Structure 1
Amino acid sequence: MENNKEIAAYIDKHPIYRNFIENLPYNIKLKARSRALRKAGVLSEVIFWMQVYKGMFWKIDFDRQRIIGNFIVDFYVKTLGLVIEIDGSSHDNKEEYDQKREDYLISLGLKIYRVSDLRVKHDLNNVMTELEKYIIAEFGDSSINI
């Protein structure tokens, strides 16, 4: 299979192809809130961030508390069009809101990877391995079986 897409990174020798989504909407009114969320440092997000910042996760660049439209996502991988959400207690009883938000993000062409707050805190190695597998499956060469 010939793939003319640009390679963004490699995970265990698997090429990961770029899926950059251009011109994402941005609500500037959320800028102060996103900055405050970054500074607040929710524990599970800080733990995850320590695994991925400065290209530590396969040289893939992650943004924290990124504004997309009228929403702020926990993590965003610009080169892949990938949103990573760490779901903690703040998501309790907000299923309808979360679904509306997810539908909106998907409508922009973004992919969403969700992981629970508790898993990040207590099962980090497996969380990171599963994220690797997800990225290979979604953005890798579809002719390669994992």
Structure 2
Amino acid sequence: MREFKPRNTQRARTLRREATPMERKLWRYLSGSALGAKFSRQMPVGPYFADFLCRELMIVVELDGHSHDLRPDHDALRDRWMTDAGYQVLRFTNADVQGHVEGVVTAIRLAVDAQRSARSG
């Protein structure tokens, strides 16, 4: 039986409430299963929080702003942990969302479709 580990739901609520403008913009495209998969915002994944998480397909979407430029080693460790745990990590910059949100959404939709195909095939 899996050991129960309490999730830091208060921290997740705070992160959702304090979402960046680009997180809010992308959420408009991901919410309501608009891409054919349910995404949640600021979800605990192991010792980390995913900006956006599709539990069913194990897809994590991360948006990188200025703070990520200051700690690339942390992001690399985090991505490695998530990949080792079976998650596909899609990482975009705030500038990607600002200037090319349609391309970001298309990349996420392609990942959703690929995961669905892999699971049904």
TM-score calculated relative to the size of structure 1: 0.72
Comparing both chains, which one has the higher relative contact order based on Cα–Cα distances under 8 Å and sequence gaps of 6 or more?
1
- Spell out structure 1 runs of 4+ moving beyond 6 A: 23-26
Asked if 1:73 corresponds to 2:29, the answer is no
Structure 2: any 5+ residue segments left out of the alignment?
A: none
Shift of 1:135: 2.9
Bigger Rg, structure 1 or 2: 1
Aligned 8 A contact 1:25 1:68 in 2: no
TM-score calculated relative to the size of structure 2: 0.86
Question: Residue in 2 aligned with 1:135?
Answer: 112
The CA distance in 1 between the partners of 2:115 and 2:87, in whole Å, is 11
Structure holding more helix per residue = 2
1:21-60 CA distance string (max 9 Å, x none): xx999863632111101001211110011111111222x1
1:43-89 CA distance string (max 9 Å, x none): 1110011111111222x100100001111110000110111101111
Asked if 1:54 corresponds to 2:25, the answer is no
Asked if 1:94 corresponds to 2:71, the answer is yes
Aligned 8 A contact 1:71 1:101 in 2: yes
Partner amino acid for 1:99? A
Aligned 8 A contact 1:86 1:117 in 2: yes
Aligned 8 A contact 1:26 1:69 in 2: no
Structure 1: any 5+ residue segments left out of the alignment?
A: 1-22
Shift of 1:126: 1.5
The CA distance in 2 between the partners of 1:118 and 1:125, in whole Å, is 12
Question: Residue in 1 aligned with 2:101?
Answer: 124
Q: Share of identical aligned residues, percent?
A: 24
The change in CA–CA distance for 1:139 and 1:56 in structure 2 (over 3 A counts) is closer
Number of residue equivalences: 120
